[in-house]
Amino acid sequence: MSDNAAWAPSAEHPRAGTGSAPGTASGAASGLARASAEADAWKLTDADVELLVLIRRFEQTILDLFSRGLLNGTTHTCLGEEYVPVALRPLLASGDFIFSNHRGHGHYLMRFADPEGLMAEIMGREGAVCNGVGGSQHIHREGYLSTGVQGESLPVAAGMAWSLKQEGAGSLAVAFIGDGTLGEGSVYEALNLASLWQLPLLVVVENNGIAQTTPIQLNLAGTIEGRVRGFGIDFVQIQTRDIEAIRSRLGPLIERQRRSPRPLVVEVITARLGPHSKGDDTRDPELVETLRRADWYHLIEASHPEALARAEAEVGPRLAALADELIAREPSRWSRCGTGVAHGSSHDE
């Protein structure tokens, strides 16, 4: 498969099971040269490029709003990892239930063409998708639930998968988790039942090689594959950022899950280009710089320049105008369900 993952930090650790790439910035640089040549063959649709750019610019807008003191709380951006939900978008069906995590803006934007509702939610302004109560990390919308509590989603996703299996319509529960979340016991309870009961559960592990400040080699014994196979669950590792190649690899496996319910865990070797949340990156600046030079964005600049220019011309100004407009909007209002205590809201669910 193209785009060898030497550019990614997690691929550098033998326990990530990705081969012999050296654990240095220069290893990532040589991987970049290879990937750049291979990206010429990538075939992305305009819609793919547009969603990639939308997620990228959305995340940058959120960080910018934070740095200007216009947001409260916290946020975690998926800068560098945007291609994962973009690759999955056509493989998921409207009846699937998505469970996202603390780094979930890209998952939401893959599911709903609604940057306005999400940005309003993060800013706590009118029009917020959860009336400003969920913020960046805790979003609930039809067929979609995110949580900032690591490992909280998987038992719930397994329960949803059980329910979807009873319905028999071929729908999946899809849970996105990070590599660091494999340190949570609830993950293994969920995998155990998912295997025993052959649940249609798709777990996507976005392995960026780090959990906040702790690199994977300090927190993960064995391999992700070894852990998953220990439960008798199918496992696939994705090293490439070639969206079409990811779809070709996963499409048949996901279709098989729909026809004949069973769990599947996909480990995507990826790279976080931004801080853990805002301004808190403890990694060696040289490594971060190397990762940024290997950003998928540069590959698409070379392989799809026109589509990228069109998307940038449309998305950038749209998000900037949206942020300005939201700053001027009233705070979002809500009421407690069932208490009758009105704080004013058009959505009381």
Ligand X SMILES: Cc1ncc(C[n+]2csc(CCOP(=O)(O)OP(=O)(O)O)c2C)c(N)n1
Please tell me whether residue 304 binds ligand X under the rule CB under 6 A: no
Decide: is 274 part of the binding site for ligand X (CB under 6 A).
no
Q: Report if residue 148 touches ligand X, rule: CB under 6 A.
A: yes
> Which part of the chain contacts Mg ion (CB under 5 A), choosing from 119-127, 179-187, 274-282, 287-295?
179-187
Question: How far is 300 from 40, CA to CA, in rounded Å?
Answer: 9
Of 120 and 182, nearer to ligand X (C-beta) is 182
The answer to whether 79 contacts ligand X (rule: CB under 6 A) is no
Nearer residue to ligand X within complex by CB, 202 or 204: 204
Residue 227 contact, options Mg ion, ligand X, none, Cβ 5-8 Å cut-off depending on partner type: none
Choosing among Mg ion, ligand X, none, which partner's interface includes residue 107 (Cβ < 5 to 8 Å by kind)? none
User: Is 178 among the residues that bind Mg ion (CB under 5 A)?
Assistant: yes
Site for ligand X in 44-63 (CB under 6 A): none
Cβ 329 to ligand X shortest distance, Å: 29
Contact region with ligand X (CB under 6 A), list: 23-31, 85-93, 146-154, 333-341: 146-154
Q: Which is nearer to ligand X, 86 or 326 (CB)?
A: 86
List binders of ligand X among 227-266 (CB under 6 A): none
Assigned token pair, 314: 């449309």
Indicate which single residue of 85, 178, 261, 263 sits in contact with ligand X (rule: CB under 6 A).
178
**Least Cβ distance, residue 221 to ligand X (angstroms):** 15
179 near Mg ion, rule: CB under 5 A: yes
Under the phi-then-psi rule, with left for phi > 0, alpha for psi from -120 to 50, and beta for the rest, what region is 132?
left
Q: DSSP letters of 232-263? A: T-EEEEE----HHHHHHHHHHHHHHHHHS---
* Three-state DSSP class for residue 36: helix
Report in angstroms how near the CB of residue 103 gets to ligand X at its nearest. Answer: 4
CA triple 259-262-263, angle to 5 deg: 130
**Nearest residue (CB) to Mg ion, 136 versus 303:** 136
CB of 46 to Mg ion, least distance (A): 31
Which lies closer to ligand X via its Cβ, residue 159 or residue 275?
A: 275
Answer for which of 102, 111, 249, 304 binds ligand X (CB under 6 A) is 102
β partners of residue 310: none
Which partner in Mg ion, ligand X, none is near 149 (CB below 5 to 8 A by kind)?
A: ligand X
186 near ligand X, judged by CB under 6 A: no
Kindly report the CA angle at 164 between 243 and 98, in degrees rounded to 5? Answer: 40
Give the angle 337-338-344 at the CA atoms, nearest 5°: 55
Q: Does 218 bind ligand X (CB under 6 A)?
A: no
Helices (H), the chain: 25-39, 46-67, 83-88, 105-111, 115-123, 153-167, 185-196, 224-230, 243-259, 285-293, 296-303, 305-327
* Residue 206 DSSP one-character state: E
CA–CA distance, 47 with 299 (Å, rounded to integer): 17
**Among the residue ranges 30-38, 145-153, 224-232, 319-327, the one whose residues contact ligand X (CB under 6 A):** 145-153
Please return the burial class of 345, using the count of CB atoms within 10 Å of its CB with bins 0-12, 13-18 and 19+: middle
CB of 76: closest distance to ligand X in angstroms? 6
> Is 236 within 8 Å of 253 (Cβ atoms)?
yes
Q: Is 208 near Mg ion (CB under 5 A)? A: yes
Compute the distance between CA of residue 148 and CA of residue 178 in angstroms, rounded to an integer.
11
Quick one: 270 or 332, whose CB is closer to Mg ion?
A: 270
Identify which of 78, 265, 47 has the alpha carbon closest to the alpha carbon of residue 172: 265
Beta partners for residue 141, in sequence order:
144
Residue 132 or 178 having the CB closest to ligand X: 178
**Which chain residues interact with ligand X by CB under 6 A?**
102-103, 148-151, 178-181, 206, 208, 210-212
